[in-house]
Amino acid sequence: MADIIQNMGENASEIIRMPNITPVRERAWYKTLIISSGLILFGILAFGLGRLSKIEENKPDLVITQTAQAIQALQITQTKSVSGGEARAYVASKSGTKYYLPACAGVSRIKEENKIWFATKAEAEARGLSPASNCPGL
């Protein structure tokens, strides 16, 4: 082929047209970029998973040792401070329609002078009050 091109002279470049081929060197950076990006993403993912597993190892196990009835009994015993000879296990507002355990969140909104104390649920219900729905244990 080299002999043919030498015999043709100066017009050889016009006769033999080479296709427009991009050299391999110019295309190699795409491949390098994709491989590098993949390795970086893999490294970040592996690091994140390693951190997550270490966090999960250090969490203590959740252990429930008391039932709801035991907690309610504890609340009642703690609030049975004797005032005027009566036990104080349930509280209501003078103008309200619900009664609460003393540890319930609704009790904090009742002023001290408006609180009515009851020893039993039956006593509170006899006054026409019903248990508060947002107070667990009633």
* pLDDT tens track for 53-74: 777 777 777 777 767 766 666 6
pLDDT computed for residue 81 by the predictor? 46
Fill in the amino acid letter for 67: T
- The answer, yes or no, to whether residue 4 has pLDDT greater than 60, is no
pLDDT of 70-125, one tens digit each?
A: 666 666 555 544 444 456 789 999 999 999 998 888 888 999 999 999 988 999 99
**Average confidence score pLDDT of the chain:** 77
pLDDT computed for residue 36 by the predictor? 92
Residue 110 near residue 78 (C-beta atoms within 8 A): no
The pTM for the full model equals 0.40
Q: Whose CA is closest to 136, among 104, 90, 109?
A: 104
